[in-house]
Structure 1
Amino acid sequence: MGRPEIRRGPAAVAGRLKTRVRSNWSNAILVCSKCSKKVGGGFGPNGKQSLAKALRKHLGLKKGRKSAVGIVEVKCLGICPKNAVTVVNTDMPGEWQLVEPGADLDQVAAALALSDD
């Protein structure tokens, strides 16, 4: 007696799971979640949003794979600056940004090469 065949949603195609999923991302921005938690927000118009959420809203980006750019909170990046959040643009892996709470989001976007400036 074999195991029953399990199919889960639209990802199950001909009895197999998809091995690839399309994304609209041109690149990804990695935001350290540990840094974000330590500074306790400090971004956005009211100063209470995480950097990832504030930057996403400021740039008018959606969340998830349908966005033009992926802004993703990741585990600790190992830099651990005092009172700042570590951010990496995957197009520029050799240059990591340290963003302090209250930083101007236009300047942050420019430093991450996300603006037209």
Structure 2
Amino acid sequence: MKALIKADWENAVLICAKCSKRLGGGFGRNGKKSLAKALRKHLGIKRFRKAPVGIVEVKCLGVCPRGAVTVVDASQPGEWRLVRPGADLDALAREIGLRA
């Protein structure tokens, strides 16, 4: 087993990459970014391991909603969210307990 690697994350958010790819963007200022990229930029997250929160795109979460992206807050694994394009990123960050 490898040695442990330290991360400064307080929380982790899993975002379905397959859902994001199907939408082809829809988030951010011009509506051209994926949800993960738009949320990272909105929260000012630059350094991955040293960031206060991890926003991670995962292969597929198996929900496959039409016109939305599946998001899982690791601190609340029993409540998954479907986020539609153009959603308010401030409201999403508050809902999943992230500091904006």
When normalised by structure 2's length, the TM-score is 0.94
1:22 equivalent in structure 2: 6
Q: Is 2:22 the partner of 1:41?
A: no
For 2:45 and 2:72, locate their aligned partners in 1 and report how far apart those are by CA, in whole Å: 17
Question: Per the alignment, in what secondary structure is the counterpart of residue 28 of structure 1?
Answer: strand
Larger radius of gyration: 1
Give the count of matched residue pairs.
Answer: 100
5+ long unaligned stretches in structure 1: 1-16
Tell me the distance in 1 between the aligned counterparts of 2:65 and 2:95: 18
2:93 pairs with one of 85, 109, 113: 109
Segments ≥4 residues shifted beyond 4 Å: none
After TM superposition, the structure 1 = structure 2 runs for residues 84-103 of structure 1, keeping only pairs within 5 Å, are 84-103=68-87
Any idea what the Cα deviations from partners look like across 1:41-84, whole Å, max 9, x if unmatched?
A: 10000100000010011111124111100000001000100000
Specify every segment of 5 or more residues in structure 2 that has no aligned partner in the other structure, as ranges: none
The whole-number CA distance in structure 2 between the counterparts of 1:44 and 1:82 is 19
Q: 2:63 aligns with which of 65, 69, 79?
A: 79
Range that drifts further, 56-65 or 44-53 = 56-65
Q: Which moved more, 1:43-52 or 1:107-116?
A: 107-116
- Structure 1 residue 56 corresponds to structure 2 residue 40: yes
